[in-house]
Amino acid sequence: MGTNMAIQLKDIIDLDFLLDIDENNQSKNNREEIAARDRDIFNHLDLTGIDQTGINQIEMDDKSLIFSWLEYRKLVYFHGPGKEESGKKESNKKKSKRLPGTVFASLYRCMVYVMLAAGGLSGMSMAYSFLAYHGTRPINVGVFFMVFILLPVLLLALTLLVLLVRFIRKRTGMVNGHNSMVHILISFFFFRVLPSIIKKAGRFMEEKKIDNIEYASSLIQTKSREYKALFFFPFFIMSSLFSAAFSAGALASVLFRVAVSDMAFGWQSTLMTSSARLHGAISMISLPWSWFVPTSLAQPNLEQIEGSRILLKEGIASLATTDLVSWWPFLCMGILFYGVLPRVVLIMAFAMAQKKALDQFDFERPRFKRLVVRMRSPVMDVGFKEQPVSQARQGKNPLPDPLLQDEALAEKALEKAAQFPGTRALVLASGSVYGDEALGIVNQFINHQLFFDVGLTSFIFFDYTQDKETLVSLAAKDPADHIIVLQEVWQPPIRGLLHYFVQLKTKVFINKSLWIILTQTPGEESLAVDREDMNFKVWKKAVRQLGNPDIMLERLSK
Amino acid sequence: MTDLIDTGHIPEFAVLGHPNEGKSSVVSTLTEDDQIRVSQVPGETRVSRTYTVKIDGKKIIRFVDTPGFQTPRQTLAWFREYIGDQEKILDQFIDTFQKDPFFADECELLAPVARGAGIIYVVNGSRPVRDDDIAEMEILRLTGRPRMAIINSKTREKDYTREWKQEFRKYFNSIRVFNSNTANFKDRIGMLESLKSIDQEWEDSISKVIQAFTDEWQKRNQLASAHITHALEKSLGFFVSEKLSDRSDQARVREKLNQSYQKSIRRIEKKMFGQIRSLFKHNLYEYPLPEYSMLHHDLFSKKTWELLGLTKKQLAAAGAVVGGTMGVVIDTAAAGLTFGVFTALGGVLGAGSALMGGKKMAGKSRYGFTLGGDRLQVGPNENLQFLYILIDRALIYYSHIINRAHGCRDMGQGDKNTSQKMGISTGFSRDQRNVCARFFKSARGRSIIREKNAIPEFELLVESLLDKIG
């Protein structure tokens, strides 16, 4: 869908404000909420529209998307749940909330009225006092012309010159322009004066509004460089409004004076002695209106000009009243055509230029792009739930046939067992894991560290059903006091394995001590297990929990 | 795209294995959820956890993190003795043992398989195959469910991958080596592709899941690119200023402003890094940079400016582009009547200033000048190299983040092979450097209307670089 909506400066300020709120809410939960909210807004939008031909369906463009988002956020801001923005529950006070854009817009409107009033009043009062005539000396047309017609024309020319310079700089790529006089003035007015007015205005407002007023003020100040281009035309609109109002006020004063009092206008000059030359100049000046206004009103004729010339040494008594009053229509037309109308045209042009500038506002900037991506892309999230299947979790010892539950007793048993060195030991190991070399090292360790004599060494499968026969026959033929089972330390002490050890101890080697010796994997650098090895600690805990003092754990050390 | 995903029947995979093989890490990496508990101690997972990946609230795939096998041999013995309908073997097992604490974990881990989930069997490739593993594989074979094996290479010291692969061929439809510590997006997609092949029924839905993951990745890259562009734009246009009074010590104020300028730029960069990190869902753990990372050096350190950015020669050419571009505009405005004089002049000036900037790049490259004699300003940075340093650091950070898997919790576990010893920007083509130059000009001017295309163009460039790195 194309964007035909009119963008206003206040919308851009509000957009900035609401995006800032999101950017400052960057904790994980908030971020996810924001992404879900933006996607939700997108999902609720009617994304298709009809193009200008009225036939083809078109998709909503990014700009429209952003504005739809803004509309929604504004709505939520005023009427949404209490947790929006500040997190406070303040739904009953929503009506008192004002977005910074709205604050700015109302202040801008106030400024427009102030400019109109100030311009109009100053023009009126200045012209009124200027036109004070007491019958002794006619109003000097030359001075009046300079102040109320020529000066506005010069200011107008200056404005056009500034615009021309800006245009050329823009075209030639001399884009900076931060230090130009106009930008200094704009910065001063919009980024210093206006924010301070906003702040001062805030003092008289309700507490709730102050945050936003502060924001509008700081936004204007901190983003002055970014937003300067958008404030360029409003500045000129303001100054033109003042000028137009000034001229209109002056015109009103002249008409009022003419209507209610006796006026006399005359001219004098030391340089210009010929009335014909002045008439020529006046004819040129009155060209904009002389073609449609009756000649008698458009400008004074040669005789009237001659008749209104003031020669101080001769006084004004000799001058005809008809000649002295013949100037006012010309002066009024001058103010209207050189003071009021050009400014009105300029204001309209500035308003159009401002609209164009706003239309050109770059919605492809990264921060807006992020919003668009957030809206257009599906939200991916991962949620989890736990639903235990087994009904036999809590409290029960998962191993059948526990012998002892007292850990202290188990500790004592470990100490006791170490007091019987030199007794005969039977070594059981997995045949697929421990080769001759590894067994040699282990046997050495058993002899030197545990002080046991290794008798038989047998290979087992760690599966009681499978090993039962071998184990029973071993128990019968080997009078070993200690049964040593070799175990790789990294293998977790799973329940099945622990159960196997308990079965060995309780079903086959009932009166013998069972030693679980932990080693590293044979074939690797060393078989020794470090005291701080995490897996060793896990095994220690698991064997201790068996609660059987005759099942002991040792690690192979260097 | 998401409309096509069937909300009722979605692919479900139970991640099974011996305790402490990295099942939770695999799930964490697959779902990109770094909040999944991953422990060094075996047997920490006691209850199955179902992780459902949703797109716009629609469920697309489920992964079940299960406890490890505790009684594989005893379970296998029961399976072998089972006489009855083979399709109901799992239901029967659960019915029989669900009140028996001895088989509690087995009931827990086989339940998702019983309700139809596919099997992802995870083993640690750095340890050898043992009998318990064979028992587990046999149990899984007897379930008759589609299954895939993953060799999770947890450490680099030992590698039994060949041995595992040999064994797996007897039991599994598909085998994949997957390092949950270093797996990146490509690895994740590769794994999902493998899942497609284990059961034809899932092919369509998993294709859609892959599409959804790819779209999600693209979205993140777009957002990352926007974050980077925004931060760079902010950094390049940033300045600080202070009013000078008659009693101010200019040198001191200049130094203070310089410090404040650098601090703010670092803050902007840090914020951008944080945004990238959370985009790629590394939320819970503060991401420690790999030991070898260039980013350990400060943004304004000599080392950073030596190793990142463009070479002096490239910088001179790039500087010529900045000046030259301006000249071209004048020429165009003058309808070519100047015969490129402005282009040449602009080029020479640009090259000169860039070279000078290059020489003093690690030192005080910021400018301090007075405005009307009573304000001192530092920044915006005039040195084009600054842009390239910032780009390089952002890209390096991105590269670290996307190569850090969600299952990885250890410091310095990243793959050192992905090290960016040199800046990525040195490999930029001339066109890419032109885009950067235009962005540099635009960002410093910070107009919202002029050079409208410079920022989107740069953003696209960053996005393409991210795609390339990813």
3-state SS string for A350-403:
HHHHHHHHHHCCCCCCHHHHHHHHHHHCCCEEEEEEECCCCCCCCCCCCCCCCC
Between A217 and A171, the more confident residue is A171
Q: Shortest CB distance from A383 goes to which of B52, B237, B326?
A: B52
What DSSP element (H or E) covers B232?
Answer: helix B203-237
Residue A192 — very low, low, confident or very high, per pLDDT cuts 50/70/90? Answer: low
A181 touching B (Cβ < 8 Å) = no
Per-residue pLDDT at B413 exceeds 50:
no
Domain end among A397, A417, A437: A417
Between A86 and B9, the more confident residue is B9
Best residue in B51, B63, B70 to probe A by mutation, most A CBs within 10 Å? B70
Residues of A in contact with B33 (CB under 8 A): 382, 384
Chain B contacts in chain A segment 331-370 (CB below 8 A): 357, 360-362, 364-367, 369-370
- Rounded Cα distance between A543 and A501, Å, is 10
Least confident of A8-22, A286-300, B327-341: B327-341
Report how far Cα A290 is from the mean position of its chain's Cα atoms.
Answer: 58
- Rounded Cα distance between B62 and B59, Å, is 8
Chain A contacts in chain B segment 395-454 (CB below 8 A): 441, 445-452
B349 touching A (Cβ < 8 Å) = no
Average pLDDT over residues A30-58: 74
Residue B146 makes CB contacts below 8 A (sequence gap 6+) with B118, B119, B173, B198, B199, B202
CB-based contact A433:A461 (threshold 8 Å): no
- Do A370 and A457 share a domain, yes or no? no
Q: Do B70 and A384 make contact, defined as CB atoms within 8 angstroms?
A: no
Residues of B in contact with A398 (CB under 8 A): 70, 101-102, 104
Average pLDDT over residues B1-15: 64
Confidence (pLDDT) at A354: 87
User: For chain A, what percent of residues have pLDDT higher than 90?
Assistant: 14
Confidence (pLDDT) at B71: 93
Whether A187 is covered by a domain: the verdict is no
Q: Do B455 and A364 make contact, defined as CB atoms within 8 angstroms?
A: yes
Residue B148 — very low, low, confident or very high, per pLDDT cuts 50/70/90? Answer: very high
Report how far Cα B204 is from the mean position of its chain's Cα atoms.
Answer: 27
Q: How far is B357 from chain A (nearest CA, A)?
A: 20
Confidence (pLDDT) at B18: 93
Confidence (pLDDT) at B461: 93
Q: Which of A9-23, A37-51, A413-427, B350-364 has the highest mean pLDDT?
A: A9-23
Per-residue pLDDT at B402 exceeds 60:
yes
Residue type, A184: I
Confidence (pLDDT) at B2: 40
Helix pair angle (A366-376, A62-79), 10° resolution: 80
- Rounded Cα distance between B239 and B248, Å, is 20
CB atoms near residue B427 (< 10 Å) = 10
Residue B420 — very low, low, confident or very high, per pLDDT cuts 50/70/90? Answer: very low
Average pLDDT over residues A175-204: 61
Least confident of A254-263, A287-296, B6-15, B61-70: B6-15
Burial class (CB in 10 A: 0-12, 13-18, 19+), A33: middle
Q: Shortest CB distance from A392 goes to which of B69, B101, B333?
A: B101
Whether A413 is covered by a domain: the verdict is yes
CB-based contact B384:B440 (threshold 8 Å): yes
Confidence (pLDDT) at A479: 77
Residue A185 — very low, low, confident or very high, per pLDDT cuts 50/70/90? Answer: low
What DSSP element (H or E) covers A139?
Answer: strand A139-140
Between A321 and A260, the more confident residue is A260
Token pair 């079940």: residue: B64
Q: Do A390 and B108 make contact, defined as CB atoms within 8 angstroms?
A: yes
Average pLDDT over residues A238-244: 91
Report how far Cα A303 is from the mean position of its chain's Cα atoms.
Answer: 72
Residues making up chain A, counted from first to last? 558
Whether A43 is covered by a domain: the verdict is yes
Per-residue pLDDT at A175 exceeds 70:
no
Q: Which of B277, B236, B244, B239 is nearest to B258 (CA)?
A: B239
Residue of B nearest to A30 (CA): B278
Per-residue pLDDT at B324 exceeds 50:
no
Give the single-character DSSP code of A6: P
Confidence (pLDDT) at A253: 92
Q: pTM above the 0.90 mark?
A: no
Best residue in A172, A228, A380 to probe B by mutation, most B CBs within 10 Å? A380
- Do A472 and A433 share a domain, yes or no? yes
Confidence (pLDDT) at B43: 63
3-state secondary structure of A327: coil
3-state secondary structure of A455: strand
CB-based contact B29:B180 (threshold 8 Å): yes
Total domains in chain A come to: 2
Confidence (pLDDT) at B352: 35
Chain B contacts in chain A segment 460-479 (CB below 8 A): 461-463, 465
CA dihedral A5, A9, A11, A16 (to 10 degrees): 130
The string of pLDDT tens digits covering residues B450-470 is 556 788 889 899 999 998 887
Confidence (pLDDT) at B232: 92
- Rounded Cα distance between B66 and B21, Å, is 12
A394 touching B (Cβ < 8 Å) = no
Q: Do B1 and A494 make contact, defined as CB atoms within 8 angstroms?
A: no
A43 touching B (Cβ < 8 Å) = yes
Sign of the alpha-carbon torsion through B85, B90, B96, B102: positive
- Do A400 and A513 share a domain, yes or no? no
Confidence (pLDDT) at A333: 92
* Residue-number span of the structural domain to which A427 is assigned: 423-555
What DSSP element (H or E) covers B14?
Answer: strand B12-17
* Residue A38 token pair: 């933006």
Q: Do A176 and B330 make contact, defined as CB atoms within 8 angstroms?
A: no
Chain A contacts in chain B segment 214-253 (CB below 8 A): 215-216, 219, 222-223, 225-227, 229-230, 233, 237
Chain B contacts in chain A segment 208-227 (CB below 8 A): 225-227
Considering chain B, what is the average pLDDT of its residues? 76
Give the N- to C-terminal CA distance of chain B in Å, as an integer: 23
Residue B168 — very low, low, confident or very high, per pLDDT cuts 50/70/90? Answer: very high
Residues of A in contact with B439 (CB under 8 A): none
Q: How far is B385 from chain A (nearest CA, A)?
A: 20
Task: Give the ipTM of the model, two decimals please.
Answer: 0.72
Q: Which of A165-179, B201-215, B394-408 has the highest mean pLDDT?
A: B201-215
Between B385 and B112, the more confident residue is B112
- Rounded Cα distance between B438 and A224, Å, is 22
Q: Shortest CB distance from A380 goes to which of B54, B130, B449?
A: B54
Per-residue pLDDT at B346 exceeds 60:
no
Residue by residue, what is the 3-state secondary structure of B49-78?
EEEEEEECCEEEEEEEECCCCCCHHHHHHH
- Rounded Cα distance between B201 and B207, Å, is 11
Q: How far is A36 from chain B (nearest CA, A)?
A: 8
Give the single-character DSSP code of A192: I
Per-residue pLDDT at A477 exceeds 50:
yes
Q: Shortest CB distance from A370 goes to which of B213, B223, B233?
A: B223
- Do A404 and A427 share a domain, yes or no? no
- Rounded Cα distance between A396 and A455, Å, is 39
- Rounded Cα distance between B172 and B137, Å, is 8
Pairing of strands A57-59, B147-152: unpaired
Residue of A nearest to B58 (CA): A380
Residue A235 — very low, low, confident or very high, per pLDDT cuts 50/70/90? Answer: confident
Best residue in A169, A390, A467 to probe B by mutation, most B CBs within 10 Å? A390
Confidence (pLDDT) at A409: 45
Per-residue pLDDT at B46 exceeds 50:
yes
Average pLDDT over residues A318-337: 83
Between B250 and B215, the more confident residue is B215
Average pLDDT over residues A381-408: 58
Per-residue pLDDT at B150 exceeds 70:
yes
CA-based R_g, chain A, Å: 49
- Do A398 and A483 share a domain, yes or no? no
Residues making up chain B, counted from first to last? 470
CB-based contact A183:A228 (threshold 8 Å): yes
Sign of the alpha-carbon torsion through B459, B462, B466, B468: positive
**At residue A530, what are phi and psi to the nearest 5 degrees?**
-70, 145
3-state secondary structure of A324: helix
Q: Do A392 and B104 make contact, defined as CB atoms within 8 angstroms?
A: yes
- Rounded Cα distance between B283 and B425, Å, is 29
Per-residue pLDDT at A392 exceeds 80:
no
* Residue B268 token pair: 């902007």
Confidence (pLDDT) at B372: 45
Between A270 and B421, the more confident residue is A270
- Residue B67 to residues A535, A542, B46, Cα–Cα distance (Å): 18, 17, 5
Whether A300 is covered by a domain: the verdict is no
The string of pLDDT tens digits covering residues A446-474 is 888 777 888 888 899 998 888 888 888 88
Pairing of strands B375-378, B368-370: antiparallel
Confidence (pLDDT) at A440: 87
Q: Which of B263, B270, B184, B185 is nearest to B227 (CA)?
A: B270
Q: Do A378 and B216 make contact, defined as CB atoms within 8 angstroms?
A: yes
**Omega prior to A300 cis, within 30 of 0:** no
- Rounded Cα distance between A282 and A330, Å, is 9
Per-residue pLDDT at B415 exceeds 80:
no
Residue type, A225: R
Least confident of A85-99, B67-81, B173-187, B299-313: A85-99
- Rounded Cα distance between A373 and A42, Å, is 11
Burial A396-431 (b: 16+ CB within 10 A, else e): eebbeeeeeeeeeebeebbeebeeeeebebbbbbbe
CB-based contact A363:A66 (threshold 8 Å): yes
- Do A87 and A67 share a domain, yes or no? yes
Average pLDDT over residues A182-199: 65
* Residue A108 token pair: 């801008």
- Do A427 and A550 share a domain, yes or no? yes
- Do A470 and A532 share a domain, yes or no? yes
Residue A221 — very low, low, confident or very high, per pLDDT cuts 50/70/90? Answer: low
CB-based contact B225:B463 (threshold 8 Å): yes
Least confident of A6-10, A180-184, B319-323, B399-403: B319-323
- Do A528 and A473 share a domain, yes or no? yes
- Do A427 and A413 share a domain, yes or no? no
Q: Do A492 and B18 make contact, defined as CB atoms within 8 angstroms?
A: yes
Domain end among A417, A435, A452: A417
Whether A403 is covered by a domain: the verdict is yes
Per-residue pLDDT at B320 exceeds 90:
no
The string of pLDDT tens digits covering residues A15-42 is 888 888 887 776 666 777 888 888 888 8
Q: Shortest CB distance from B100 goes to which of A39, A175, A392?
A: A392
Q: Do B53 and A370 make contact, defined as CB atoms within 8 angstroms?
A: no
- Do A543 and A463 share a domain, yes or no? yes
Per-residue pLDDT at A435 exceeds 80:
yes
Q: How far is B132 from chain A (nearest CA, A)?
A: 9
Give the N- to C-terminal CA distance of chain A in Å, as an integer: 78
CB-based contact A433:B129 (threshold 8 Å): no
* Residue B283 token pair: 């939320």
B28 touching A (Cβ < 8 Å) = no
- Do A501 and A427 share a domain, yes or no? yes
Residue A280 — very low, low, confident or very high, per pLDDT cuts 50/70/90? Answer: confident
Whether A401 is covered by a domain: the verdict is yes
- Rounded Cα distance between B470 and B468, Å, is 5
Confidence (pLDDT) at B344: 30
- Rounded Cα distance between A367 and A350, Å, is 28
CATH code of the domain covering residue A514: 3.40.50.11460
Whether A528 is covered by a domain: the verdict is yes
- Rounded Cα distance between A500 and B30, Å, is 36
- Rounded Cα distance between B155 and B101, Å, is 33
Residue of A nearest to B220 (CA): A373
* Residue B144 token pair: 């008759």
Least confident of A105-109, B108-112, B113-117, B397-401: A105-109
Least confident of A86-90, A98-102, A288-292: A86-90
B466 touching A (Cβ < 8 Å) = no
Residue of A nearest to B215 (CA): A377
CB-based contact A520:A553 (threshold 8 Å): no
Best residue in B16, B31, B53, B449 to probe A by mutation, most A CBs within 10 Å? B449
Whether A325 is covered by a domain: the verdict is no
- Rounded Cα distance between B395 and B466, Å, is 7
